Amino acid sequence: MTKVILLCDINSFFASVHQALDPGLQGKPVVVGGDPAKRTGIVLAASVEAKKRFGIKTGMTVAEAKARSREVIFVSPSFKEYVKFSTSINKILKDFSDLVEPCSIDESFVDITGCLKILGSPLEIAGKIQGRINNEIGVGVNIGIGPSKLVAKMAAELEKPNKIIPLTLEDWPHKIWPLPVKELFGVGSRIGRWLNQVGVKTIGDLAVLPPDVLKKRYGLIGEVLHHSAQGIDFSPVDPQAMDVVKSVGNQITLPRDYLGFDRIKVVILELAEEVAQRARRAGCLGNRVSLTMKDPNFFTETHSRTLYSYTDITQEIYDEAVFLLQKHWHEEVRVRLVGLTLSGLLRKEETQLNLLVERDKQERIDRATDLIRSRWGQHSIKRAVSLTDCGVYHER
């Protein structure tokens, strides 16, 4: 039996949340962005109005957006609200089917194959979902309907905002094939660039490209791409797909460029503390530490290292990151941004014991700080270096 899959994509999610929270913003060009004074001034999202009337796009600098019009209203992001909204939206979706797979904060797949007899035709169901999201949450939603996740996803992109778009495999050739190849789900900028180089401009071009060519270059992914171009996708809607945390990471744009390892190490320690604490809270251990650094010219480098054993200890993550810093970064180069990620995560169900007593001590320090913070607040205890002028987390 063919499946019926919906993809619900909230229109301009971050901006819509602010509009839903503040009726004064409704119908106005709203832009969610960082604070240019802290040098985090990038447009994270723009409302439908800001996009349509002024051509403001995600990723522009706030200064650029401001130059477009004085009418634009700027708001600061509030991630707590976004998570709250996202949860409520998925709750609505779960009223229609238990097969709901959130694939990002503002997009979820729903498999309604099994509900058709009870709830009506796909269009009727999509209509009900849209109505509830519009009325109960107060945001616009695009719903793509297709026989697979891929087709539903491509359908949802065809027309905006607040539309319900069914797409069948019969429609695929004339609706999807003329689109640029980089619009196809699964084609990133790198693969897109290569495809353009070999003369593949549209999804239709990709569909007729001999599969061997793709397979030779990209292996298994090449094969999947070949199927994708035909509109074929075998992946099921997996409600648990997002349950597994794959990595925890934090990054920060520094209030001013830092020069010298001693100063950068302070930021790394603060990030390590944050990352390790998040891993511990999630009950995870990781074995891969990645350090990202950006220089004032936005030249970015990421380096990783796999640890000999799994860890959630602040000090160990810090030591690895410092090792990466000293190995890969020049002390004379200024640093604009520092990011730290712990990946290769697995559940901390078992712990390999260690000969060294010092590791035990580090674990106890971490446990104690976690306890103090959970009781008295995140800022109740901090590293002494955070109080120097290099610390960036104390003002947060």
Partner 1 sequence: MKIICTRQNLIQGVSTSQRAVSTKNPLPILSGILLTATNNQLELKGTDLEMGIQCIIPCTVQEEGSIVLPAKYLGEIVRRLPDTPIQIETQEGVNVVIRYGQSEITINGFSAEEFPGFPNPQGKNSIIIAEEDLKEHLRQILFATSPDENRPVFTGVLLEAAEGTIKLVATDTHRLALKEINASSELQETNVIIPGKTLNELARVIGAADKNVTISIGDNQIIFGMEDTLFISRLIDGQFPNYRQVVPQGYKTRIRLKTKELLEAVERASLLARVGTQIIRLSIEEEKIIITANTEVGRIHEEVAVYLQGDTMQIAFNALYLIDALRAIGSDDIYLDLSGPLSPGILRPVEGDDYLSLVLPVRTI
Active-site residues, by number, are 107
Q: Tell me which of 309, 374, 380, 388 binds partner 1, using CB under 8 A.
A: 309
Residues 352-371 that bind partner 1 (CB under 8 A): 352-356, 359
Contacts of 365 (CB under 8 A, 6+ apart): 314, 315
323 lies in the site for partner 1, by CB under 8 A? yes
For residue 103, the number of C-alpha atoms closer than 13 Å in the C-beta half-sphere is 18
Give the pairing type, strands 141-146 and 164-166. parallel
Nearest distance in Å: CB 287, partner 1: 8
The interface region with partner 1, picked from 79-87, 121-129, 178-186, 347-355 by CB under 8 A, is 347-355
The Cα-based distances of 352 to 145, 173, 278, 360, 383 in angstroms read 48, 55, 21, 12, 28
**Cβ–Cβ under 8 Å, residues 70 and 28:** no
The interface region with partner 1, picked from 67-75, 181-189, 234-242, 305-313 by CB under 8 A, is 305-313
235 lies in the site for partner 1, by CB under 8 A? no
243 lies in the site for partner 1, by CB under 8 A? no
Q: According to the annotation, is 233 in a ligand binding site?
A: no
349 lies in the site for partner 1, by CB under 8 A? yes
User: Applying CB under 8 A, what is the total number of residues that bind partner 1?
Assistant: 19
Q: Tell me which of 170, 332, 350, 395 binds partner 1, using CB under 8 A.
A: 350
Nearest distance in Å: CB 288, partner 1: 11
Q: Tell me which of 63, 241, 346, 371 binds partner 1, using CB under 8 A.
A: 346
Q: Name which of 37 and 353 has its Cβ closer to partner 1.
A: 353
Residue count of the chain, please give it.
396
Q: Tell me which of 69, 104, 134, 351 binds partner 1, using CB under 8 A.
A: 351
Nearest distance in Å: CB 155, partner 1: 34
- Please tell me the distance from the alpha carbon of residue 8 to that of residue 10, in angstroms, as a whole number: 6
**Cβ–Cβ under 8 Å, residues 133 and 6:** no
Q: According to the annotation, is 106 in a ligand binding site?
A: yes
**Cβ–Cβ under 8 Å, residues 300 and 294:** yes
Count of C-beta atoms within a 10 Å radius of residue 244: 10
319 lies in the site for partner 1, by CB under 8 A? yes
Token reading at 199? 């003369």
145 burial (CB, 10 Å; 0-12 / 13-18 / 19+) is buried
76 lies in the site for partner 1, by CB under 8 A? no
Q: Name which of 70 and 330 has its Cβ closer to partner 1.
A: 330
CA angle (219, 300, 276) in 5-degree steps: 85
**Cβ–Cβ under 8 Å, residues 15 and 46:** yes
Binding residues: 9, 106
Binding residues for Mg(2+): 9, 106
**Contact set with partner 1 (CB under 8 A):** 287, 307-310, 319-320, 323, 344, 346, 349-356, 359
